[in-house]
Structure 1
Amino acid sequence: MTDRAIKLSIRSLFLWVVMTIAAISLVSTSGLSIYTQINAYRYELDNRANLLSKMTANAVASPLRNSSQALVEESLQFLDAADKVLNVHIYKTLPDGSNTLSAVERFASYNKGGQLLIPGKQKQLVNLDQTPLLTEDNDYLESSREIFDQETNEVLGWVYLRMSADGFSQHVIKTVLVNLGIMLFLLVFSFLLALRFQRRATAPIEKLSFFLQRTSRQRDYSARAEPSNIKEIDVLSDDVNIMLSRIQEYMHKQRQAEEQHRKLNASLEEMVSQRTNALKDANQALIQTLEKLHEFQRQIVQNEKMASLGDMVAGVAHEVNTPIGLGVTASTMMLDRLAVIERDFENKTLKASAMKRFMDESHENLNIIYRNLNRAAELISSFKQVAVDQSSESSRTFCFAQLVNEILLSLQPRLKKLQHNINVDCDPTLCVETKAGPINQIIINLIMNSVIHGFENIEKGQIDICAELITTNKLKIVYRDNGIGIPSDIRKRIFDPFVTTKRGQGGSGLGMHLVYNLVTQALNGSISITSEVGSGVEFVIVFPVSSAKTS
């Protein structure tokens, strides 16, 4: 499609259009002329045949009424003057009076000199009546007419006339040849005239096309197209000149803009270089500041852990002091009672009742000493394990419920003065292998967060700690309380460092940040929070474990 459009030129298109229009017009006109002339000649021939058959019918009517064959044939001799008439047959109606074609017979004939008698045409008389017909070879024209008695208006018979039509074929051929000759002459004349007008119409276009090609190759937009004597081409040349002037103006502005752009690029490169150096210095200072900030943050987090451990040490020391003091008091009392028994024994004044009282008191004091020393041992063991877990980053296998109980036991000095209830929902036989230290610190921070923030102005709160295996190597811890909840503005950044509602009241804002870091970094897990004001808070912690089993 594209190749054909490229090869088709205005010159050939103009020539083809003109010649097509001329050919269609000439063929239509010639065809109409040939058809009209042939019809006119045929009409004239038909009229002549009808006239001769009518004259013949009138001439033989009277002799045919008298049934005189000689008079009929004599009446037909006037046809010698008609050079086209070849044969004439006179058919007479039979005496039975029937007017059907089967009731007629040939009565007389006329044949031009040298023409043979033709067979009967009775069956064609009606078809030829007033409608002359050409034979298939267009050589003869046949016609028929009824013969009437003028007095009685009866049908006496029929006239059959056959005349030559060779002039008709010659006339048709002559007419066709003359029209074809005229048509060919006019086509040649139209072609020559189209060529002349084609050159006059396409020469300005070719000139303008050559001008545009030269302008595009040389990029000489100052050139202008010459005017043309054709109005449309002249308008096109003016439009091309306007376009060239605008292009020239645009190119001038573009060169100015490029010059300004080069100058701007030079100054911009220098400015970018200065800004890049300044940005490098600022980035270096920012990196150093960020490293210091991370160092300070790690130090603060470590201080937070040590502060938590210090609070625990103070609480455990205070808690251990009471059972040890009771044990010391009971042992001193035992020493006093033992000295009295020794003195009475040496003086031989020892009585059975005194010995029995000494044994009862000894039994009671030893029970007191055992219970308090066992209590102190449990506190010290729990504190030792919690302290080891907090300072250790290695994995170990432990019972999760026992770990939570040890944490609660170490927090007992802080929690015994409060009425909050802590409920642990966990399979007591669940043992996992993972890092106990981060879990220890996470649960301590969550519990202390609930005590300090969640249960503010609440005398008796409820804390639920649930733990379960969701897969064979993934543990889920759910921590919830029924405290005052967390506002939405705080909840969105609860895990950010230094976010606290107790600013200036001892809150550092690092507790939940430490929890988030321990869950995501130390345990490689995830933590999510759900809370509404007045509806408490729920933390869901999920992290992988090396192994898990129940025993």
Structure 2
Amino acid sequence: MSVSPHEAVAVAPHNPSSQGMDRGTDVALMKTSLRNAVILALVAGLALPTGGVLLYEQQLSRRVVMEDLQRDLSRVSEVLALSLAEPIWQVSPDLAEPMVKAQVDDPRFVSVVVTENAAQQAFVEFHRGTPDDAATLTETRPVLRDGREIARLTVVMSAEPLMARKRDDLWNALWRSLLTLTVSLGLILIVMQRRVLRPIARLSDAADELASGQLDQPLAFGGEDEIARVGKAMERMRLALLKAFDDLRGHASTLEEQVAQRTVELTEANVELTQALANLKTAQRELVESEKLASLGRLVAGVAHELNTPLGNALTVVSALEDRWGKLDRMLTDNTPMRRSQLEELVKDTRRGQDILHRNVQKAADLVRDFKQVAIDQTSDTRRDFELAQVCEDVLVMVEPSFKHTPFRIVTDLQPDLRMSSYPGALGQVLTNLLMNTLVHAFEGETQGEVRVSCHRLDETTMELSVDDNGHGMDASIVRRIFDPFFTTKLGKGGSGLGMHIVHNIVTNVLGGQIEVISRPGEGTWMMMRLPVDAPLRAASEDRMG
């Protein structure tokens, strides 16, 4: 039996007028919701950051103004205390007043009062208005003559004039931001109306025509944007539907021919699936290698972070010594007399800087040495004798920077003198993956947490290495699948699902051991490995991941 497109659609009658009304309502709602969403996103994306920046700038400006005011107040107080000593000693206010007036031309001055020790009235005083106490700083210091206090100087300065100018600048910036927001909103709405809402309305009308069975009318959409591509895809779908109906009529009369053709196609598909499976296995091996490189990349990032501190300290010391020796060089060039105390102080600072440089450079050298050993181990299949606790400590040095800026910490319980003949690179990769897996999964949403790394000897031929945490834990369904390839609870959030699969393969195939995971929701997770002291031998050409 042949079926036409129009016969297939006739099964579900509809009212064209009511459909047109519904379509118009849907398009209007779509426009309104999109417009509101864009306006809300624009306001939130521009107004909120702008407001935050302006508020931060206001606080920063206030702090800077107050710091400048404190510095200027101390400087002026010191200058006035020194310059007023002679007029006060000579009891000559006429000499003191010009000195005070020369300073108070600055609008930040609120008052300057000089009072002799034995006098009831002020020797010299100046007052200007009543400022805001929150923006006012006061400093009182003695006026000395030959080391003896003869008067007291009190200076009050206000930051209000400068803060008023800062507020004016802030308001100007706010108005500029509002103008930018308004213009941006208008432009975006115009562009959205022309490039999004109208094409979507046309696309919706075309979709309704297809849904009503009108397959004979071509769909014409110009342009190369996303909406145009959707329209072209709908046109291809229309053509495909027409072809499918034609094919259906032809297949009704040539069923046996179609069955034979399908058999051939299935055979070809089976060959393609076999090839796809082989490609999938190849891709899996490549992903495993990529995970190894990612692990080494985390080590590099950790070492770079740790090296920054000692090298930064060394650079600071070198800059300070360079400045000190530059001053000495200028004194020698200018034939400036030098005291013995100056040379002794320079020698003392130089020795102190040399000690700091030595300690920081030594720390950097130690970090590079440890990283070099870990990197060599993790990028090669070399088997060697090593101490288990030392390998664990080397890996922790590289991993701890990832925990440094989190509320979570690593504690260790490593038994010393546990000698093994195995593959330290593979072991280091296992420990790195377990620690990073714990950081990503165990403490999500928590404000504190602890990861414990411990190792000890079980018997003469077996060591136990464990990583446990007090995080969320896992239910039994996750524990059962934790070593499955491509299984992850962070799908779409950066998780590859290969970390624990690689751990299982390395522990069982390379190190010749066993790994067990025990976990319950809310009770944390315990990952325990039992490793032979002497790892099994394997061919040099064998792939580490099997």
Q: TM-score, normalised by structure 1?
A: 0.46
Larger radius of gyration: 1
Q: TM-score, normalised by structure 2?
A: 0.47
